């Protein structure tokens, strides 16, 4: 009878299967965050340095800044101040302007740094609770490194997604601790920052089901979710809130028109984010082949976020920011199963990619911003502070740069023609505008004709020759007086009222 093989021989012959590292959360006396928080704060500031280089980074920032000024002047959200977005970020801009003045976006840029830091800290807490101290550090650092892994215009702007992400991370943090009312409230806040933030409800609901939650827990989640949303609707206007955030964007969300253009954009942004995540994608793929991470809710979070990116079929780069928190946690989960040295490699590769994206942000020119600034200078020189102007284009930041009030609640031609981001197919024109917009627009111009109309269409599909109503307005009372970088400036043909 053969002898039993020795233990050492069995260990040599047995296939090695990587297993999670066993690290335990430290005792409360150890200053974990006292040491980690300065590192994360420094990294959050470093990754946002390019955001301070320019006055603003995107038309969304300009739109929010103009909205905030209109609200401060007595405007009503979803009535005389409109956009296809929930109210949380416009209110944030309004509050920052009330405290610090509206001449600079610096307070919002600082708040964006704080939002990124808060997201990193929450992800650190989730990872630390699951896999230990080292995993917590890895998750926080990885998130901040990949958070800038897109076109700088998309990641450095202080806009909707940046302020939505802390709420999505908070939702998972609360659900992980079975604090269902708070989890629901966090999902609600994510939705109120941007509608797609509501996708975080999917992993939260999964965690509730997996934990064997009772009907009372489900009720707590529902109350936490519905309470803030209903309160926001009541504070603004319930019908307007529903229309502008949910039901009024059918044509905008349609896939018809410029399909190839938006598909190329989607594939390009996917490739850019994949390059930023080059350090964590290989570990995740390898772990999928040899072991399970035991983190189904993280995959659900990633899948629901991907669905949110797909919603509307526009594939703008900033949409992809919603993928970064679950990607950071999935990368961390995979690295806990692989040998320890793989963590250093993954972080190093991701840091190298981050440096390249930061260099892109610091060195890339901003021709559209320069164009908007030149138009703003011309508008300012031809009008008084009390006169209103109409900018017919997709760069509402010009209102803010010129310090002039808009002549209409519709701050871009997109709301009146359905033009957006190069979608120049058959669904661009007056009949594809937001429902009921043109009668209101005509009434606004008739009641208070703007001193100047700036046609900044530059041969795009919403040019006046393709918009009969605007063409008639120009023909009836305006004459061209200047051209700036292809933008035509029209002045009223009759005398301007004296300024008081």
Percent of the chain with pLDDT over 70: 88
- Give the full edge-to-edge strand order of the sheet including 452-455: 389-392, 452-455, 487-492, 478-484
Q: Identify the pLDDT of residue 249.
A: 73
In whole angstroms, give the CA distance from residue 101 to residue 87: 20
Give the residue with greater pLDDT, 156 vs 495: 156
- In 311-413, alpha helices (H): 324-337, 341-363, 367-382, 397-402
Q: Identify the pLDDT of residue 10.
A: 42
Q: What is the average pLDDT across 218-239?
A: 96
Model confidence at 412: pLDDT above 90:
yes
Band (27; pLDDT cuts 50, 70, 90) = very low
Q: Identify the pLDDT of residue 294.
A: 65
Q: What is the average pLDDT across 199-224?
A: 96
Q: Could you tell me the pTM of the whole model? A: 0.90
Question: Residues 276, 277, 282, 288: what is their CA dihedral angle, to the nearest 10 degrees?
Answer: -160
Model confidence at 3: pLDDT above 50:
no
Question: Residues 8, 14, 16, 17: what is their CA dihedral angle, to the nearest 10 degrees?
Answer: -120
Distant-in-sequence contacts of 458-462, Cβ < 8 A, 24+ apart: 458/393, 458/486, 458/487, 459/486, 460/419, 460/424, 461/417, 461/419, 461/424, 461/428, 461/429, 462/392, 462/413, 462/414, 462/416, 462/417, 462/419, 462/428, 462/429
Q: Identify the pLDDT of residue 423.
A: 61
What are the backbone dihedrals phi and psi of residue 424, each rounded to the nearest 5 degrees, phi first? -115, 30
Q: Identify the pLDDT of residue 30.
A: 63
In whole angstroms, give the CA distance from residue 314 to residue 329: 26
Q: Identify the pLDDT of residue 260.
A: 76
Q: Identify the pLDDT of residue 369.
A: 95
8 Å CB contact between 130 and 124: no
Q: For residue 278, give every residue at least 6 positions away whose Cβ sits within 8 Å of its Cβ, in sequence order, or none.
A: 349, 350, 353
Lowest pLDDT segment from 327-336, 421-430, 463-472: 421-430
Q: What is the average pLDDT across 257-270?
A: 84
Give the residue with greater pLDDT, 262 vs 7: 262
Model confidence at 193: pLDDT above 80:
yes
Question: Residues 389, 394, 397, 403: what is their CA dihedral angle, to the nearest 10 degrees?
Answer: 0
Q: What is the average pLDDT across 38-50?
A: 98
Q: What is the average pLDDT across 343-372?
A: 96
Q: What is the mean pLDDT of the chain?
A: 90
Q: What is the average pLDDT across 47-55?
A: 97
Q: What is the average pLDDT across 62-86?
A: 96
């Amino acid at each position: 009878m053969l002898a039993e093989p020795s233990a050492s021989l069995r260990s040599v012959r047995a296939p090695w299967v990587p297993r999670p590292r066993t690290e335990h959360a430290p005792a409360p006396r150890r200053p974990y965050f006292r040491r980690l928080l300065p590192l994360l704060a420094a990294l959050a500031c470093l990754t946002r340095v390019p955001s301070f280089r320019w006055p603003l980074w995107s038309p969304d920032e300009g739109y929010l800044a103009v909205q905030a000024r209109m609200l401060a002047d007595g405007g009503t959200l979803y009535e005389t101040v409109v956009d296809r977005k929930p109210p949380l970020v416009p209110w944030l801009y309004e509050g920052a302007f009330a405290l610090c003045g509206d001449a600079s976006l610096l307070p919002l840029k600082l708040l964006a740094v704080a939002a990124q830091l808060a997201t990193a800290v929450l992800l650190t807490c989730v990872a630390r609770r699951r896999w230990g101290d080292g995993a917590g550090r890895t998750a926080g650092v990885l998130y901040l490194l990949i958070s800038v892994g897109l076109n700088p215009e998309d990641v450095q702007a202080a806009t909707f997604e940046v302020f939505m992400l802390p709420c999505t991370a908070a939702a998972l943090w609360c659900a992980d601790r079975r604090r269902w009312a708070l989890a629901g409230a966090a999902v609600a806040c994510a939705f109120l920052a941007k509608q797609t933030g509501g996708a975080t409800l999917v992993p939260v609901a999964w965690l509730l089901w997996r934990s064997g939650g009772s009907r009372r827990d489900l009720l707590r989640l529902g109350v936490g979710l519905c309470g803030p949303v209903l309160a926001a609707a009541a504070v603004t206007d319930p019908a307007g809130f529903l229309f502008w955030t949910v039901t009024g964007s059918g044509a905008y969300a349609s896939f018809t028109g410029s399909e190839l253009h938006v598909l190329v954009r989607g594939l390009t942004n996917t490739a850019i984010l994949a390059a930023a995540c080059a350090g964590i994608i290989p570990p995740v793929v390898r772990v999928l082949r040899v072991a399970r991470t035991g983190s189904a809710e993280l995959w659900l979070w990633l899948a629901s976020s991907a669905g949110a990116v797909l919603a509307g079929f526009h594939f703008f780069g900033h949409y992809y920011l919603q993928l970064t928190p679950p990607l950071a946690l999935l990368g961390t989960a995979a690295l806990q199963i692989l040998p320890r040295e793989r963590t250093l490699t993954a972080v190093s590769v991701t840091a190298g990619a981050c440096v390249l994206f930061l260099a892109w942000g610091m060195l890339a020119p901003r021709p559209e911003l320069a164009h908007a600034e030149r138009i703003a200078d011309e508008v300012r020189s031809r009008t008084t502070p009390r006169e209103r102007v109409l900018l017919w284009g997709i760069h509402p930041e010009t209102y803010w740069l010129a310090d002039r009030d808009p002549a209409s609640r519709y701050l871009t031609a997109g709301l009146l023609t359905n033009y957006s981001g190069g979608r120049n197919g058959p669904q661009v024109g007056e009949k594809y505008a937001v429902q009921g917009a043109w009668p209101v627009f005509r009434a606004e111009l008739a009641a208070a004709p703007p001193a100047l109309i700036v046609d900044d269409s530059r041969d795009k599909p919403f040019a006046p020759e393709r918009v009969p109503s605007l063409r008639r307005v120009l023909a009836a009372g305006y004459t061209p007086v200047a051209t700036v970088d292809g933008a035509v400036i029209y002045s009223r043909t009759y005398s301007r009222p004296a300024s008081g």
